[in-house]
Structure 1
Amino acid sequence: MSRLSRSRGPRTRAGRSSPGGWPPPAWEQRFRAPELEVPEWAPDAPDRACVVATVDGRPQVHSWEASTGRLVAATDRAAGTTDATIDPAGRWLWWFDDTDGDEWGTWRRQPFGSPPGQLTETPIPLPPGYQAGLHLSRDGTGVVGRTDPDAGTTIHQVFLDTFSATSAPVLLYAGDHDAEAAALSDDGNLLVVGHAEGGDPRHPALRVLSADTAATVAELDDGPGRGLWALDFPPLPGDSRLLVLHERTGTPRAAVWDVLSGAWRELALDVDGEVADATWFPSGDAVLLAVDHRARTRLHRHDLRTGRSTLVGPADGTVDGATARPDGEVWYSWSSAAEPPSVRTTRTGAVLLAPVGPRPRPSVGVRDVDVPGPGGDVHALLRLPSTGAAPYPVVVDVHGGPADHRTDSFSPTLAAWVDHGFAVLSVNFRGSTGYGTRWRDAIEGDVGRAELADIAAVHDRLVAEGTLDPRRSVLTGASWGGYLTLLGVGTQPGRWALGLADVPVADYVAAYEDELATLQAVDRALLGGSPQEVPEAYAAASPITYVDAVRAPVLLLAGLNDPRCPLRQVQRYESALRERGGVVELYQYGGGHGSHVTAERVAQMRVQLDFVKRHLSP
C-alpha cells in the first residue's frame, strides 16, 4: 500500500508562481492533456463498459459503448472519481463516493448511460468506511468489504435487485486485522478473503467462504515471508478455479487453484521477471499475465491446454492495465518514458479509445543503469535532457510504496524536470517490486537505510563518470518516496542540495498514531512491532530524529485530508526544522493522499520548480 500526506498551518506557501502565457509550456500541456483508463466491460453485455476519463481536468466515471464510441460522463465530483466498476449485465455503473480524497465513503450506483446526478442510488445500507473490495455476480449477489478504525474489517453479502431494492446485509467475515473481499465466483457462491490474521499484511493468506453460510470452504497459507493474493475466478458458472499470485519460488508467479478439489496448477513461464497481475480470458482456457522485468511490464497469453505462453502487445515500454475480451482480443494501456499513454487493441495495434483533446508532448527515453550496491546489483533508469552538457543537475526521483517500482513509462512530472534541464535518476532500490521477493523484503529490519544506501551507490557511480553534478543534486519523492527524501537530507546531509518531500512520513511515531489501521499493521511488519514495543526502531527510521543534521532547504507538500500520511506529523517536522534554523516551506492543498485534479497538480509542479529555482545554485 503506497503512502502520501498533506498539511495546513499559518506558514503555508500558496504557490503563486506566474502561470505564464498561452499556449502553456510543454510541461504544463502534458499535465493538462486528457487521460483515460482501460475500459472495464460487462461480461453479459460486452459492448458496454465503464471508463474513468478526465473531464475539465478531473477523472470522472463514464459509460462507453464500444460499437458506437459513445462516451457519457456519469459523475461530476470536484475531487474526481477513480474507483468504479460495472455490473455483469451492464445495467449499472458503480463508483466510490468519498469526501475530498479522504478515502472514507460509500458505494453509489446509477443506470448505464445516465448523466451526473441522475437516478443515483446508495443500494448497500451500510455506514461509510474505507473500502475493502466490491464484487458483483451474475445472480445479483453483491459482496462489499469495508474497514472502520473502531470495528475493524467487515465483509457483507447483499442481494441486489435488477432495479433498486436490496436485501439487508448479511455479515460473512469480521476481524480486527487487515483484510479484503478479494474475489467472488461467477455464480456468487464462493467468496475469497485475503487476510493478515498472522499479523503480517505484507504476506497475506487466503480463506474461501461459502457466500450462503459463511462457512469456511478452504484455507491457503504459505507461512511466514510468503504472501498469497487472490485475483479472480473465471467468468463461468460453477467454475471453482481461482487465479492466485504466490511467492513460493522467491519470484512472484501465478497459479490456478481449484478451491473445491484442492488441485494446484503452476502457470509456467519461460521468460524472466515476476508476475504482477493476471486475469482470465472469458473462455476459461487461457490466462493473460502481466510480467515485470527490468522496469518494463509486458503481457503474455498462457494457454492452459498447451501450457505455452506467447507475448501479447508491445515488447518495449510498459503496459498499465489490460483486459481480455470474449473473442480473444486484448485492450491495454501502454506508454514509455518518451511516448504518452494510449489505450490500444491487440486486434490491430491501433488506438481503441482516444480522449477528446490534444495529445501530450513526447519526452525523452530512458537509459538503463546497473550498479553494484551494498545488497546486490541495483537497477535504475536515467533520463537526460536534450539541452546542456554533463555534468547535469539531477533530480533523484524516489518512488513510493515501498512495494512498488519505477518503470519505463510516461510521467508528466519527470518530463517537466527534463524540460528544465535536469537529468532524472529513478532507482529501484531494495524494497522495490519487480526484482524478486528477497529484494523486496530486504528492508525489513533496516527501513530507510537500505533504500538510501542503494540510491547513494547509483548516484556515486554517475557522479564519478561525470554525468551528474554532485553540487546540484535534488532528492525528491512522494509518499514513501517523500519519507526517504526527508530521511535522506537528515542522514546524508552532504549529498543533497535540496529536498522536495510530497505527502511524506516525517515523524514516524506521530504518523503511526494517526494513520489507517491497515498501515499500522504494515509498519509493525516492517519495523518489528509498534512504537511502544520497539521504540528504538521507530526512532532510527524517523526523519524527525535527524532534523538537527539537515542542511538542505526542504519543501514539504501535504494534503488536508490524507489518511495515509496524516497532517499532524508533517506539521511537527516542519516546526522542528524551522525552530533549528532550517530553510523549510510548507505547501498545503485540499485533498487526500495526492490530488487527481489537473489544476492542483500543475500548481504543485510550479511550486516545486519555483522552489528549486530560488534555492539551487546555478
Structure 2
Amino acid sequence: MSSDAWRDRFNTPIIQDIRPCPGDLNLEMIYAAGLSDAEVSIWNPATGESLRVPGLPPHVANPVPAADGRSVLVLHDADGGEVGHLWSCPAEGEAVDLTPELPPYTLRGIDVARDGSAVVIATVTDEGFTLYHLTDSGPHRLYRSRNEAWNSLVSADGALASIDTTDHNPGIRRFAVTVLDASDGAVLASVSDGPLAPVRGVRFSPVAGDPRLLVSTERTGFARPAVWNPLTGERTDVDAPELAGELVPLDWSDDGARLLLVHVDGGLHRVHEYDLQAGRLLRVPHPDGAYFFPEVACAVTNQWGSHYGPGGQIRLLRQRADLPFEVLTLDRGESEPRTVMAPRDVVPGIPLRSVTVTSKDGTAPQLWVATPQDAAGPVPLILRVHGGPNLADVGGYHPAAQAWLAEGFAYASLNYRGSVTFGRTFREGFWGAVGDRELEDVEAAWRWLVDEGVADPSAVFMTGSSYGGFLTLLSLGRLPDLFAGGFAFIALADWKLAYDDMHPALQAAWRGFLGGRPELAEERFRLSSPMTYVEDVRAPVLINQGRYDTRTPARQAEEYARRLRAAGGDVLLRFFEGGHGPVGNDGVVGKIELEMELARKALRGERWS
C-alpha cells in the first residue's frame, strides 16, 4: 500500500452501529461516521432499500431507532458536550424535542417498547439520576436517586420499566436491577446477587404481556445470563460451567424461546444460542471476528451487537481489525451464515493477532498485535490503550491501526485491568489505586513487544483516548524511559480539576473508583494524576482536546500543558470545536496526519513545540 492509500479507508462512511427497529424487526437503523458529520438511515436487509434520515443535530452519538421505522431518537446538544434534550428526527418532517419541559441533561439510557407505546430514558443532572417515561402528555418521572443509576429498559407492551441502581450499595458500581410500574413508578421488584456481584439489565422479553427480563449476572465472577420474572421472582440462570471466561447476553428471539449470547474467552468471541425450554447451549457457526462492542457511560448497553431478526433469524454483526462491518444472517436449521451486507470499499489490510502478556503480579492482560508487511526486525511501534476504563478492544475494525501499519509502524492495543469481558476481578482491578495496576500492564506489554522483537525499544509511542489519554500521560510521567512520545486524545490530566468541572454523571463513579470526594481522598487524587509527574516527563507530548468536553474538561488539560512547559517539557496542546470526540472522518484523518508527522520528527530527534 502506498503511503497515502490509508486515507481511502476514510473516504467511505464508516459504520458505527446497526440496530433493529423495535416496531419492525425487518428494518435496521445504520449509523455511520461520514466525512464531516454523522449519517443515519433505515435499511431493509430483505430488499436492500435504504431511507436516509436528514436533519440530525450537529453532534450525534448513539442514535436509537423509533418504533415507526422512519425516525430516530438522539440527544441534541449544541456543542458536543453531551448535555441537552432527546429529539425525534424523522426521515420526513421536522425534528421534535421530546422533553422541552425538562432542564438539559446527560442521557444514560434509552429504550423503546416493541409496540411503540412507550419510551423510557435515564437522565443525569445536578439533581441526581432519574428514570422518565415519555408519554404524549410529557415526561413522567418514575424514579430518582442521588446514587448512580443507569440503563433504562421498557417491556414490549410498555407496562414495565427497569433501571440499574446502586441504592443497595451506594458509591460502588455494582448494580442491581429495579423494575417499576411504568404507569405510576411503583417499585415492583429488585434483583441483586449481593454486594460483590452486580446484575445488569439487558432486555425485556419481546412478547407482549411477558414480564421476563434478560439480565447479566456475575455470581461466578464472570458474566452469565439469567432470565428473571419480576412479578413472580422466578429466575433461570445459564451457568455454563463448561465455559471459561464470560458468556455475555445480547438478545431474545422474537418468540421469547431463545437467547443470543457471546462467549468471550481471552478477548475472542464465539456466538451461541440458548434454548430456554430445552436448557441447551447451541454453538452458532461463524467466521472469526468481533460480534459485539460493549459500551459504558452512554445511552446504550452495547455500542453495537449481533441480534435476532424476525422468525428467530440470527443477524451476526461482524468486524475484524482490517475489515469494516458486515452483516451475516443465519435462519433456524441453516448450517452456515449468509452475507447480506458485505464490507464497503474494502482496502487490503493486516489482521491483528491476540496474545497475552504477564504483568507484575502474574495477571495476564490481552494484547492485539500486528506488524507491517515485510517488516524485518524491530520497528517503531504504536501502543494504544482504550478509553473507559470499563470498555474493551474487541478486535473490531480500526482504520487508524491500518494507517500506522501502512506507514511502517507496528501496532498493538492493550486490554489492561479495568477492561470489561475479562471477569469482575480484572474489571475492578484498578479500584482504589487508579493508574497503578494499569501501568503495570502497560509495562508488561512494552516488555513483551520488545522481547519478541516486534518493537524498537527506542521508538515506542503511546496513544489513547479519554481514559486511554489519561494512561498515556500517566505513563509518560511514571514510565519515562519507555516511550519516544505520547499522543493523548480527550485526555484526563488532573483528577481534582477534572472532577470539579466534569458532569455529575461521572462524578459518582469516580468517587467510587478513587475512594471518595477530592477532599476525602486527596492523596489518591494526587497520586493518580499525571499532573503530579510533569517534572519526570522526558518524551514529547501531544494533547488533542475537545473545547466543550464534559467528561475530560478543557481547564485541566490547559493547566497540565502549562506546568509541563514550565518544567521544560515539549508539549503541544490542540483544541477542536466539540466535545468527547470528533464527529466526522475528516477530523480523524487530520488527527492521524498530525500524529504521524510528530512521530517522524521524534525519530529524527526534533522537538514538537
How big is the alpha-carbon RMSD for the aligned residues of Structure 1 and Structure 2? 2.3
Among 108, 125, 131, the alignment partner of 1:148 is 125
CA distance in 1, matches of 2:151, 2:480: 44
- Alignment partner, residue 298 of structure 2: none
CA distance in 2, matches of 1:466, 1:353: 39
CA distance in 2, matches of 1:312, 1:363: 26
Report the CA distance between 1:609 and its aligned residue.
0.6
- Alignment partner, residue 524 of structure 2: 537
1:255 is the counterpart of 2:226: yes
Deviations 1:141-194 (A, max 9, x none): 332322212x222222233xxxxxx21332211222322352111121211121
- Alignment partner, residue 9 of structure 1: none
Among 45, 48, 51, the alignment partner of 1:69 is 48
- Alignment partner, residue 612 of structure 1: 599
Q: Residues 363-402 of structure 1 correspond to what in structure 2 (within 5 A)?
A: 363-371=350-358, 373-402=360-389
Q: Secondary structure at the match of 2:449?
A: helix
CA distance in 1, matches of 2:70, 2:411: 46
Deviations 1:59-103 (A, max 9, x none): 222122334322122134474533322333435432322223221
Deviations 1:554-594 (A, max 9, x none): 11110112111111100010000011111001121112111
Deviations 1:537-566 (A, max 9, x none): 011100000001111111111011211111
Report the CA distance between 1:399 and its aligned residue.
1.5
- Alignment partner, residue 96 of structure 2: 121
1:285 is the counterpart of 2:257: yes
CA distance in 1, matches of 2:255, 2:195: 35
Among 116, 123, 139, the alignment partner of 1:169 is 139
CA distance in 2, matches of 1:532, 1:303: 52
Among 111, 118, 130, the alignment partner of 2:106 is 130
- Alignment partner, residue 15 of structure 1: none
CA distance in 2, matches of 1:554, 1:522: 28
Q: Secondary structure at the match of 1:381?
A: strand
Report if the CA contact (8 A) 1:318-1:408 is conserved. yes
CA distance in 2, matches of 1:529, 1:245: 27
Among 327, 340, 350, the alignment partner of 1:343 is 327
CA distance in 1, matches of 2:70, 2:202: 24
CA distance in 2, matches of 1:23, 1:421: 11
- Alignment partner, residue 183 of structure 1: 153
- Alignment partner, residue 416 of structure 2: 429
Among 319, 343, 361, the alignment partner of 2:291 is 319
Report if the CA contact (8 A) 1:195-1:201 is conserved. no
Q: How many residues align?
A: 585
Q: Secondary structure at the match of 1:377?
A: coil
Task: State the TM-score, normalizing by the size of structure 1.
Answer: 0.89
CA distance in 1, matches of 2:232, 2:312: 28
CA 1:569–1:108 in structure 2 vs 1: closer, same or farther (change >3 Å)? same
- Alignment partner, residue 3 of structure 1: none
Report the CA distance between 1:135 and its aligned residue.
2.6
Deviations 1:420-463 (A, max 9, x none): 21111222222222221111112112211111112212322332
- Alignment partner, residue 440 of structure 1: 427
Q: Secondary structure at the match of 2:345?
A: coil
- Alignment partner, residue 17 of structure 1: none
- Alignment partner, residue 32 of structure 2: 53
CA distance in 2, matches of 1:581, 1:59: 40
CA distance in 1, matches of 2:346, 2:533: 44
Where structure 2 has 5 or more consecutive residues not aligned to the other structure, the ranges are 293-304
- Alignment partner, residue 600 of structure 1: 587
Q: Decide which moves more: 380-389 or 306-315.
A: 306-315
Deviations 1:386-433 (A, max 9, x none): 133212222111121111222322211111111121111222222222
Deviations 1:186-225 (A, max 9, x none): 1212111212233335212221111122111112233333
CA 1:243–1:515 in structure 2 vs 1: closer, same or farther (change >3 Å)? same
Q: Match of 2:526, as an amino acid? A: A
- Alignment partner, residue 315 of structure 2: 331
CA distance in 2, matches of 1:250, 1:210: 31
1:499 is the counterpart of 2:476: no
CA distance in 2, matches of 1:108, 1:208: 25
- Alignment partner, residue 273 of structure 1: 245
- Alignment partner, residue 300 of structure 2: none
CA distance in 2, matches of 1:558, 1:506: 11
CA 1:88–1:294 in structure 2 vs 1: closer, same or farther (change >3 Å)? same
CA distance in 1, matches of 2:416, 2:121: 36
Report the CA distance between 1:44 and its aligned residue.
4.1
- Alignment partner, residue 201 of structure 2: 230
CA 1:386–1:183 in structure 2 vs 1: closer, same or farther (change >3 Å)? same
Report if the CA contact (8 A) 1:508-1:542 is conserved. yes
Report the CA distance between 1:43 and its aligned residue.
4.3
CA distance in 2, matches of 1:299, 1:585: 44
CA distance in 1, matches of 2:171, 2:340: 41
Q: Match of 1:484, as an amino acid? A: L
- Alignment partner, residue 310 of structure 1: 282
Report the CA distance between 1:37 and its aligned residue.
4.8
CA 1:395–1:186 in structure 2 vs 1: closer, same or farther (change >3 Å)? same
Report if the CA contact (8 A) 1:130-1:147 is conserved. yes
Q: Match of 1:516, as an amino acid? A: H
CA distance in 1, matches of 2:546, 2:514: 26
CA distance in 2, matches of 1:392, 1:445: 36
CA distance in 1, matches of 2:413, 2:550: 27
Q: Secondary structure at the match of 1:69?
A: coil
CA distance in 2, matches of 1:254, 1:538: 36
- Alignment partner, residue 301 of structure 2: none
Q: Residues 557-568 of structure 1 correspond to what in structure 2 (within 5 A)?
A: 557-568=544-555
Report the CA distance between 1:367 and its aligned residue.
4.7
CA 1:208–1:503 in structure 2 vs 1: closer, same or farther (change >3 Å)? same
Q: Decide which moves more: 479-488 or 442-451.
A: 442-451
Deviations 1:509-540 (A, max 9, x none): 10111112121111111111111001000111
Q: Secondary structure at the match of 2:264?
A: strand
CA distance in 1, matches of 2:18, 2:588: 24
- Alignment partner, residue 90 of structure 1: 69
Report the CA distance between 1:604 and its aligned residue.
0.5
CA 1:313–1:26 in structure 2 vs 1: closer, same or farther (change >3 Å)? farther
Q: Decide which moves more: 558-567 or 516-525.
A: 516-525
Report if the CA contact (8 A) 1:280-1:324 is conserved. yes
Q: Secondary structure at the match of 2:323?
A: coil
Report the CA distance between 1:472 and its aligned residue.
0.9
Structure with bigger RCO (C-alpha 8 Å, 6+ apart): 1
Report the CA distance between 1:489 and its aligned residue.
0.7
Report the CA distance between 1:608 and its aligned residue.
0.6
Report if the CA contact (8 A) 1:60-1:76 is conserved. no
Where structure 1 has 5 or more consecutive residues not aligned to the other structure, the ranges are 1-21, 160-165
CA 1:129–1:436 in structure 2 vs 1: closer, same or farther (change >3 Å)? same
CA distance in 1, matches of 2:597, 2:10: 17
Q: Secondary structure at the match of 2:312?
A: coil
Among 479, 500, 509, the alignment partner of 1:513 is 500
Deviations 1:331-364 (A, max 9, x none): 2321222333322223563432357x63333223
Q: Secondary structure at the match of 1:88?
A: coil
- Alignment partner, residue 7 of structure 2: 28
